[in-house]
Amino acid sequence: MFCHPEQNSFAAAVRDAALTGLRNGGHDIRLTDLYAEGFDPVFSAVEHAGHLADPSTKPAIAEHVENLRWCESLVLVYPTWWAGQPAMLKGWIDRVWINGVAWELPGGADRIKPLLRNVGRITVATTHGSSKFVNALEGEAGKRTVTRALRALCRRTCRTRWIAFYGIDTATAVQRQRFLRRVTRRLEK
């Protein structure tokens, strides 16, 4: 999953490094580029009213649902903006990680049941403009979204991997290249 509006951005270079690592590791890949496909991130009033309806009644997200149900490992590549995922990616989570796809609430139950038992790993490759220290002070809300909320809807033993480049706003070309190599190496495994 790639989320950045510019195809010549550093985030796109991170995506390419991730794809190289995945290919080198022999993984099957389905790439989704939310901006390139023009994904609509708006969880509309109509969708909200029907959010408990069967996912098959939502053709606008059918391919996303199929890909999410297909994958064993989900790789998210995006820049961290305002301490979290870009609005486009957050909208994808809101619209695709829905009842009947990522979770269900059985009748009489008081807790949702996770449905994405096929997903055993979630990896994030992201960049932060500010330092690790500043992000720690802010609480890393984007990291918590992945490691706590999304992970809880996957296989019970799902593991998360956070590959982050802090301080990109002041990083040198050498530091950027080092991070790209790190992304490739980590995703080869």
| Vertex 149: Cα angle to 6 and 19 (nearest 5) | 40
| Overall size of the chain counted in residues | 189
Q: DSSP letters along 115-127, please?
A: -BTT--EEEEEEE
What does CATH list as the number for 10-188? 3.40.50.360
Using 50, 70 and 90 to split pLDDT, how confident is the model at 13?
very high
Least Cα distance to 146 among 159, 133, 165, 129 occurs for: 159
Least Cα distance to 135 among 169, 158, 160, 181 occurs for: 169
Spatial distance between the Cα atoms of 119 and 81, rounded to a whole number of angstroms: 26
* Structural domain boundaries in the chain: 10-188
Spatial distance between the Cα atoms of 12 and 80, rounded to a whole number of angstroms: 14
What's the sign of the alpha-carbon dihedral 81, 86, 87, 93? negative
Q: If DSSP codes are grouped into helix, strand and coil, which group holds residue 71?
A: coil
pLDDT at 5: 97
Given a contact cutoff of 8 angstroms between Cβ atoms, the answer to whether 138 and 173 are in contact is no
Does pLDDT of 52 surpass 90? no
pLDDT in tens, 98-130: 999 999 999 888 999 999 999 999 999 999 998
> What would the two tokens of residue 183 be?
């992304």
Report the first-to-last Cα separation within the chain, whole angstroms: 18
Kind of pairing between the strands at 73-79 and 103-104? unpaired
Q: pTM of the prediction?
A: 0.94
